[in-house]
A = this chain, B = another copy of it.
Amino acid sequence: MPPRLGGMKTLIVYAHPEPRSLNGSLKDLAVTTLEEAGHEVRVSDLYAMNWKAVVDAEDYGPYASSPLRVAQDSGRAFDASALTPDVAAEQEKLLWSDTIIFQFPLWWYTMPAILKGWVDRVFTFHFAYGVGEHSDTKYGERFGEGTLAGRRALLSVTTGGPESHYAARGINGPIDDLLWPIQHGILYYPGLEVLPPFVLHSTDRLTAQDYPEVAKAWQERLLTLATTEPIAFRRQNFGDYEIPALHLRPGLEPADRTGFALHIRG
């Protein structure tokens, strides 16, 4: 399912409590920009939907075991097409889409709780994990394979603090590393290819005068999504990792490469 120029099917998952916020404006701009360019757009506005953020036994109805086992019970409910309608609708939107944009403010260095609750509830066993067989050469279908393979994802994130605090030697740690648990752990895991994020810093000090430049940069990203190269995360089952230890084999990376970046090719 390679993204096409024209005719992208885009799902925007949006998490901010205030429609008149910068995040709300960026979401609105994404909708109009993509639609005017001939793409289809659907929006999951989690606050407007009053999205239930918390995993509990009600999510699995008669498939909730006692004691509750989140992974197994979510997989049994998924297999029986018995997930709650809100979760089933989000899974359907994901399968419909070829491109998924996540629009949210970075709160405490990660996503707001309502969006984490979307992940916790929508990314069920047998849908997003626990997919595929295990063998001597394969450790399930994930990290390069999986239910959402062939689709692309993009984080559009705002931070209050300035870019320097998120630089290589910045006190918060590098933004690419802060986003790793989301980009690699949540998005790449079920097969999504992850595009480099669109990050706006210093938004605490952003004024109305600054917005046209921000909007222009965002529109440029939106209109080049189909030709943007994804982050070259290493695929799990194609020789780079020992199975089942899933250690990166020695010598694959450049000599100065360490940390999360070990898992990026080239």
A76–B17 Cα distance when bound, in Å, is: 18
- Within 8 Å by CB of A108, from B67, B113, B186, B247, lies B186
Q: Mark A32-57, 1 if CB is under 8 A from B, else 0.
A: 00000000000000010001011111
**Identical copies of this chain, number:** 2
Say yes or no: is A61 at the interface (Cβ < 8 Å to chain B): no
Query: Which residues of chain B are near A181, meaning CB under 8 Å?
Result: 108-110, 173, 178, 181
A21–B65 Cα distance when bound, in Å, is: 12
Most B CB within 10 A of own CB, among A54, A112, A170, A172: A54
Contact of A170 with B21 in the complex, beta carbons under 8 Å: no
Say yes or no: is A229 at the interface (Cβ < 8 Å to chain B): no
Contact of A246 with B164 in the complex, beta carbons under 8 Å: yes
Q: Which residues of A contact B (CB under 8 A)?
A: 17-21, 47, 51, 53-57, 67-71, 107-114, 116-117, 119-120, 123, 143, 160, 162, 164-165, 167, 169-174, 177-178, 180-181, 184-186, 189, 204, 236, 241, 244-248, 258-260, 262-263
